[in-house]
Structure 1
């Protein structure tokens, strides 16, 4: 049962983040690495992907595929998290630095949850 709660927590995180991506894409523009083209389109697309992953994780019949997609999405957005941490390091803002650096290790348990969902369905 704990694993199911973890998967639903991940679905909630994806839903929240996905909605913010769609409603306020400008929040994510500073996180975009320069090598990524068409920032706004990628931000909106990743929001749609997060919501789709959330929906898939919430339903047992699609949980396995959504788990793999969720793990891939978390890996794909990791460069944005790295850029956020690097920008925060240079900004001198201690709060921003704490949040940005704190996000980095949180990606690992989120990926682990997604992979458990992929393996167990």
Structure 2
């Protein structure tokens, strides 16, 4: 039961984040590291990926699709970590400290938790995580 509730919360979180990437990309473009090619396209497609992952986690009929969504969202969270690190560094370099350590430290700690949560709620890791072959 708790796994299902957390899967729904995670899907809602990623669904909203994906929506935000699509309708208001500016904040995400601001924190995208300079070495990322085609940042506008990357922000757009990361939003699409978040929405697709959220939909995949929520569907009730295919364990394989939920697992694929969990793996995709875990990889997504890993791939966007450099943007979070870049945001941290940019903020700490500001004279006023930006959002401060009280924001950035928990955010850095949350990233591996989000990765694990996507894998666990997607049924990739943990008890009964085996995929049945058709």
TM-based fold match above 0.5: yes
Which sections of structure 2, spanning at least 5 residues, go unmatched? none
Query: Which 4+ stretches in 1 moved above 4 angstroms?
Result: none
Q: Does the aligned pair in 2 maintain the 1:25–1:43 contact within 8 Å?
A: yes
Report the counterpart of residue 116 of structure 2 in structure 1.
112
Q: Which residue of 2 aligns with 1:33?
A: 33
Normalising by the residue count of structure 2, what TM-score does the alignment of the two structures yield?
0.84
TM-score normalized with structure 1 length: 0.92
**Contact in 2 for aligned 1:10/1:54 (Cα 8 Å):** yes
Matched positions, count:
121
Cα offset for 1:94?
A: 4.4
**8 A contact 1:66–1:118 mirrored in 2:** no
| Counterpart residue number, 1:13 | 13
Q: Which runs of 5+ in 1 are unaligned?
A: none
Contact 1:56/1:66 (CA < 8 Å) preserved in 2? yes
The equivalent position to 1:102 in structure 2, one of 103, 106, 109, is 106
